Structure 1
Amino acid sequence: MLDRSRNAGRSLAAAALTAALVAVGLAAPVPANAAVSRAELALRWAPIHYQDVDATGSHALGGRSDYITKVDFDGDLNGRNNWDRAGQAGASFAAHAYYSVLETSTHWYITYLFFHPRDWTDHPFFETEHENDGEGVLFAIERDGSTYGVLRSAVSVAHSNFYSYTPAGSTWSGGRENVDGTLQLQASPHDSFLHPVTAQEAQGHGLKAYPQYTINGDGLVYYPSTVAETPSDGNDRDVRYQLVDILGSGGLWAQRANVNLFANLGTFAGDDTGDCGVGTYDCSTNSANAPWGWDDADDLPGRGEIATDPAKLSAEYFTIPGNPSRTYTYNPYASAAAALAEAARTAPPVVD
């Protein structure tokens, strides 16, 4: 059951939040001649996110293994203790998601990462589990002269496959890859915008456009916000999540050479200690990726290019009218382009 007392107070909290966001130009359109920040863009287009929850078995932690959280939910940036720390007192499941914004003269490209400390299973056959899990979605926004632009497409990450979508009325259509479905939009109770809607499955956390994945029984509905809430239980349908800039000072990109967090460029470090793999087929190591490690191996774009060169990936996946620019006016990933290309060429494939 939902926490009714908390939800009752939320109507007042939501009104107060809306008033606050209006004051800073996030909940209502700002003047057309006002520059919008990357953080504002990310918040405006952040998805309403459906997360299926399974509480079966000890590895589920009563459902908490399906809650999204921060990479440092346990107070450190050591990726090799996250499986165990997720089940210990003091672990924070306050809802966060990560984002990065790249710019060309014609488009904004916004990548979102949803992190779980465990990719898990509740049966002993066929499927493996592993420490850490990172999957997400790329949105392409056309800069049409309006404050926040127009959403044209999405490409989601479900394990080692990408899936492409367009919202109703988009001018984009299928390219080298077929469009896999329609990206739905939904109103948020916490601002005045229609947001794209995404969903993740329980256990393995593959991500697709809603309702290609949806909630089956218990589940969480996360709403983008400026605060991070912890679900009241595994069936909380109104949880606000806070965004964290991947490219910010001290962010995940700045930590890319941290050997405690990353086993190699774009791959989270994870071991097989604790009960990972106990009672299941296996626990694999170093098996989750950050956005610059995401890859659909049988598609043309290279490893990580969904985040680091999204204009290229979009041109491969979609037929785009006009003359979209492929030259970035803002792309901090480009400073490490040579290292990323070499890592993609030499690193073994990582199957999430």
Structure 2
Amino acid sequence: MPDRFRTAGRSLAAAVLAAALTTGGLAAPAPAEAAVSRAELALRWAPIHYQDVDATGSHALGGRSDYITSVDFDGDLNGRNNWDSAASSGASFAAHAYYSVSETSTHWYITYLFFHPRDWTDHPFFETEHENDGEGIMFAVERDGSTYGVLRGAVSVAHSDFYSYTPAGSTWTGGRENVDGTLQTQSSPHDSFAHPVTAQEAQGHGLKAYPQYNINGDGIVYYPSTVAETPSNGNDRDVRYKLVDIFASGGLWAQRANANLFANLGTFAGDNSGDCGVGTFSCSTNSANAPWGWDDGNDLPGRGEIATDSAKLAVEYFSIPGSLSRAYTYNPYASAAAALREAARTAPPVVD
């Protein structure tokens, strides 16, 4: 079970965040690329995350429905009881986020997933709710010889649409898709780095680069870390979240065939039990996705390729000077790539 209470002290003791100089939020070049683990890489580029919170209405649970947490926040891996479990006194809202890393000789691609037990609304008409919610972002990092590389571009998931961003000074520009904005960076009080900044709306939890979504009234600012803190309330502006490897032993990827957690390829299982949909238009079922199920149906990359073939997505979304290898030196999704492509081709669309 994840930690339920705030860990005392604010210093991040992890050795992975040793002091380093940064320039405009982008890692300064070094003569030769130093060895860095994928966990270190994911922690360095993990976003500072602004989460808007709405405490109104019974489905808000006083704001807790907008807190990020782990998929087993209720002590099990059953996706069909999460709506009800969120209201339980035993539910843990210790902050977690999931990540995966793939590599080519020229770039790293890091995907982050933020999970909520409820996608909810307090509107009485024309809007649906559903159990479970998974949205996130992929960062493309050029291997420029420095320890952590240089951030070049990002693509975020907001419901059934993708949005692309570049940080200030990036050499990448719009490709088949226009760049939707600038990816800002911000210093963290818990390490020596400037991190990209993302934000999620309340209720539906679409994710974009800050401040395209922002905190409106109450909200939580989450900082990447190796510990999981629980917000003290819905207006806590300093909460650390713990990164969890999607490919950890027994982790999210290992559970992909668990019918209690996933209804089909990359789609979380969720039903319409409890009060989901009560007082609004409806409660839809099996309506949230893991990264290998994310899709923008209007764009060329296939379902899940934002995570499973990030280099392909980068080429489609951006104009990229210099070299970009499409040959992976490490891609944990690759062993199932053919099955993923076939299943994605035949799977029914899932609209978040």
User: What's the TM-score, normalizing by structure 1?
Assistant: 0.94
- Please give the secondary structure, in 1, of the residue aligned with 2:17: coil
Amino acid paired to 2:200: Q
Asked if the contact 1:79/1:132 (under 8 Å) is kept, the reply is: yes
Q: What is the aligned partner in structure 2 of residue 286 from structure 1?
A: 286
Amino acid paired to 2:39: A
Amino acid paired to 1:83: W
1:27 and 2:18 are equivalent in the alignment: yes
- Please give the secondary structure, in 2, of the residue aligned with 1:92: coil
- Please give the secondary structure, in 2, of the residue aligned with 1:165: strand
Q: What is the aligned partner in structure 1 of residue 47 from structure 2?
A: 47
Asked if the contact 1:29/1:147 (under 8 Å) is kept, the reply is: no
Asked if the contact 1:27/1:193 (under 8 Å) is kept, the reply is: no
- Deviation of residue 345 (structure 1)? 1.1
- Please give the secondary structure, in 2, of the residue aligned with 1:332: coil
Deviates more, 1:201-210 or 1:247-256: 247-256
**Deviations 1:242-272 (CA, angstroms, capped at 9, x unpaired):** 0000011111111100000000010000000
- Deviation of residue 29 (structure 1)? 3.6
- Deviation of residue 27 (structure 1)? 3.2
Q: What is the aligned partner in structure 2 of residue 166 from structure 1?
A: 166
Distance in 1 between the 2:44 and 2:77 partners?
28
Amino acid paired to 1:184: Q
Q: What is the aligned partner in structure 1 of residue 272 from structure 2?
A: 272
For the aligned residue pairs, the C-alpha RMSD in angstroms reads 1.5
Amino acid paired to 1:235: N
Asked if the contact 2:141/2:152 (under 8 Å) is kept, the reply is: yes
Q: What is the aligned partner in structure 1 of residue 57 from structure 2?
A: 57
- Please give the secondary structure, in 2, of the residue aligned with 1:65: helix
Distance in 2 between the 1:328 and 1:27 partners?
28
Asked if the contact 1:60/1:120 (under 8 Å) is kept, the reply is: yes
Q: How does 1:226-237 map to 2 (within 5 A)?
A: 226-237=226-237
Asked if the contact 1:199/1:208 (under 8 Å) is kept, the reply is: yes
Distance in 2 between the 1:125 and 1:92 partners?
31
Q: What is the aligned partner in structure 2 of residue 241 from structure 1?
A: 241
Asked if the contact 2:20/2:193 (under 8 Å) is kept, the reply is: no
Distance in 2 between the 1:29 and 1:197 partners?
19
1:140 and 2:131 are equivalent in the alignment: no
Q: What is the aligned partner in structure 2 of residue 207 from structure 1?
A: 207
Amino acid paired to 1:145: G
- Please give the secondary structure, in 1, of the residue aligned with 2:169: coil
Q: What is the aligned partner in structure 2 of residue 3 from structure 1?
A: none
**Deviations 1:146-201 (CA, angstroms, capped at 9, x unpaired):** 00000000100000000000000000000000000000000000000000000000
1:300 and 2:291 are equivalent in the alignment: no
Normalized per residue, which structure has more helix?
A: 1
Amino acid paired to 1:37: S
Distance change >3 Å, CA 174–CA 33, structure 1 → 2? closer
Q: What is the aligned partner in structure 1 of residue 24 from structure 2?
A: none
1:94 and 2:94 are equivalent in the alignment: yes
Distance in 2 between the 1:251 and 1:171 partners?
36
Distance in 1 between the 2:323 and 2:156 partners?
24
Number of aligned residue pairs: 339
- Please give the secondary structure, in 2, of the residue aligned with 1:338: helix
Unaligned runs of at least 5 residues, structure 2? 22-29
**Deviations 1:129-158 (CA, angstroms, capped at 9, x unpaired):** 000000000000000000000000010000
Q: What is the aligned partner in structure 1 of residue 26 from structure 2?
A: none
Distance in 2 between the 1:33 and 1:69 partners?
34
- Please give the secondary structure, in 2, of the residue aligned with 1:50: strand
- Please give the secondary structure, in 1, of the residue aligned with 2:325: coil
- Deviation of residue 28 (structure 1)? 1.7
Asked if the contact 1:200/1:207 (under 8 Å) is kept, the reply is: yes
1:323 and 2:314 are equivalent in the alignment: no
- Deviation of residue 33 (structure 1)? 5.7
Asked if the contact 1:301/1:312 (under 8 Å) is kept, the reply is: yes
